[in-house]
Chain A
């Protein structure tokens, strides 16, 4: 697939989170941002279909809806 390049301006706090996530997931910044975009699109697609985004704790069986604004 052909790729395009862009410059991303982030605050220091955002860059710190990006670095932490990259370290945790073992991904490069580019790979992590691509993953974030895919997840964002997947969530939007499901919400557009009328689905809800839920988190479930398997130990407590507690479910909570993530409010996506």
Chain B
């Protein structure tokens, strides 16, 4: 299996400067080990909505499925973020209804990257790097940057305000707990990438 690595940048909160990081287009075993050892062993002060997620189970579940792809971000010798995308879903925005898009199934930054964490290395921009990777994959697939996702409530503002995605409201068909569905059009993707949000 060929793994592609790309250079990306995160903001080191302690040093207040951009630092080089690496984006992988596949989640590797060491990323899952980081998740199991470091992520699970870290206790943030606030309750995180996705702390019950088991990334090994998620990665095993999509293994060999062509419609899915996983990504990881490394910085400072640790895994800083993980993402799984789905490339067979379709858009809902009127201007792109029925057109294929990249659907972000799961995306999570390491728990120490939440704002307000001190006492260890912490990076800002992990979510932005991963969303940019989803947009780039959408471009590479011929989907012109279109992406979609269901957001956990703690992340609604990030997708709406920081990413500039359209909020299509609460989606009761998603699961037992309705989540808001957000979608990004080709134009919104262009703005996101241009502004380097």
Contacts and interface: CB of A to CB of B under 8 A. Distances in A.
A35 B88 contact: yes
The interface size bin for chain B is 10 to 19
Given A1-B25, A25-B99, A41 B144 contact: no
B142 A31 contact: yes
B170 to A, nearest CB: 17
Overall SS of chain B's interface:
loop
Interface in B51-89: 65-67, 87-88
Contacts of B65: 38, 41-42, 45
B141 A31 contact: yes
B79 to A, nearest CB: 21
A41 B144 CA distance: 24
B150 interface: no
Nearest to A24: B98
B16 interface: no
B54 to A, nearest CB: 20
A45 B65 CA distance: 9
A34 B140 CA distance: 12
Counting chain A CB atoms within 10 Å of each CB, the highest count among B25, B99, B142 belongs to: B142
B66 A38 contact: yes
Counting chain A CB atoms within 10 Å of each CB, the highest count among B4, B65, B66, B144 belongs to: B66
B100 interface: yes
B142 A39 contact: no
Interface string B139-174: 001101000000000000000000000000000000
A16 interface: no
Given A35-B100, A39-B88, A28 B142 contact: yes
Nearest to A40: B66
Contacts of B144: 26
B142 A27 contact: yes
A1 B88 contact: no
A60 to B, nearest CB: 17
B2 interface: yes
Contact of B67 (A2, A31, A42): A42
A41 B99 contact: no
Given A28-B142, A39-B67, A42-B65, 9 more contacts: A25-B100, A26-B99, A26-B144, A34-B66, A37-B66, A38-B66, A38-B67, A39-B88, A42-B88
11 contacts: A1-B25, A31-B141, A34-B141, A35-B87, A35-B88, A38-B65, A38-B66, A38-B67, A39-B67, A41-B67, A45-B65
